[in-house]
Amino acid sequence: MEDRFGHRISYLRVSVTDRCNERCVYCMPQELQEWLPRAEILRYEEIARLVRVATTLGVTKLRVTGGEPLTRSNVLELFRLLAEIPALRDLGVSTNGSLLPRIVDVAGRRMTMAAALRHYGVRTVNISLDTLDAAQYTAITGRDFLAQTLAGLDAARAAGFESIKLNCVLMRGRNEDQLPALIHYAGEHGYLLRFIELMPVSTTDVLTEENFLPIAEARRLIERSTGPLTARPDFKTNGPALYFQLPNSEQLIGFIGAMTDLHFCESCNKLRLTCEGKLRPCLGSYLEFDIREPLRAGASDEVLAQFFRDVVDRKPQQHDFRENYQPNRKMVAIGG
């Protein structure tokens, strides 16, 4: 699938739940939240059917996300179904990591959740880690889960994923003192660390002039302790991150600048499916289209395929975060 601006769509991000066991300040409101009723959430068979249709249109890469995808009950059943779709060459998961060490049963064998995901063909995991300081972790996520998240990272390493990425959201006044420690930790364990600019996709107080830390400034802060970074434009993962190499080291770190990188959208290859069955052509736009309705009304694969094509046709040239803040649209409900 290709849109009007030449973006080739090969990557689908599927949010499987709007629920989460953490309460990150930038992602969801701190007060008690209303979850979507169960009947509104796509069933695993429904998700797998839509993914199968998407693969007939050139989608080869899928990332399961949320909310926290590993909180959804029996989530391994979804991975079992996805493993049966041969055209899906690259399967990844985004998680806060806290449930990766949990022991689960797969066909009579006990293993960690991380090992079970690997067992079902998950190749990459992206794990959120904004700080290595326990008190700060609790202040940011609302939960005292640093130790179990680090145990989750150990479980992921033991499970043998092809790549483990760490995602750190930059927040002035909260975690800017942690950047060198996170780099050191990632380097020590072989994780690819990326720093992400705060995006305005949650409650109104998320992004202010005071707490926004642009990637260029984060880079300067980092260079104060590491020495000069070298740009590595030749190194690309599947997303918009810009990579740099540390001096006297092989280690790379990435910067994802949704707000200040003006080339951010140029190579966009993504489409998103929310947990309640909305197809979103762009994270940073209000546009979304309900594919659950035709799906549940008995639409054929061809009709669903046309639905995908029509949504891709509506993909904007670039996101409009910079002009159009979305104070009421919660990241946790869209799927990051």
Closest CA relative to residue 192, chosen from 146, 263, 235, 251: 251
Strand blocks (E) in the chain: 11-15, 61-65, 90-95, 103-106, 109-112, 124-128, 163-169, 192-196, 230-231, 242-245, 252-256, 270-273, 278-280, 289-290
Least separation in angstroms between residue 43's CB and ligand SAM is: 20
Least separation in angstroms between residue 27's CB and ligand SAM is: 4
Classify strands 230-231 and 124-128 as parallel, antiparallel or unpaired. unpaired
201 is in the binding site of which of ligand SAM, ligand SF4, none (Cβ under 5 to 8 A by kind)?
ligand SAM
Closest CA relative to residue 95, chosen from 146, 26, 33, 167: 167
Residue numbers at the binding site for ligand SAM (CB under 6 A) = 20, 26-27, 65-66, 68, 94-96, 128, 167, 169, 196, 198-199, 201-202, 206, 331-332, 336
Q: Which residue is nearest to ligand SAM (CB)?
A: 336
Least separation in angstroms between residue 164's CB and ligand SF4 is: 16
Nearer to ligand SF4, 1 or 256 (CB): 256
Biggest distance spanned by C-alpha atoms of the chain: 59
Residue numbers at the binding site for ligand SF4 (CB under 6 A) = 20, 22-24, 27-28, 66-68, 96, 128, 141, 331-332
Residue pair 67/17 in contact (Cβ under 8 Å)? The answer is yes
Least separation in angstroms between residue 330's CB and ligand SF4 is: 9
23 is in the binding site of which of ligand SF4, ligand SAM, none (Cβ under 5 to 8 A by kind)?
ligand SF4
Nearer to ligand SAM, 12 or 169 (CB): 169
Least separation in angstroms between residue 246's CB and ligand SF4 is: 26
Nearer to ligand SAM, 53 or 199 (CB): 199
Classify strands 252-256 and 242-245 as parallel, antiparallel or unpaired. antiparallel
Nearer to ligand SF4, 252 or 331 (CB): 331
Classify strands 278-280 and 90-95 as parallel, antiparallel or unpaired. unpaired
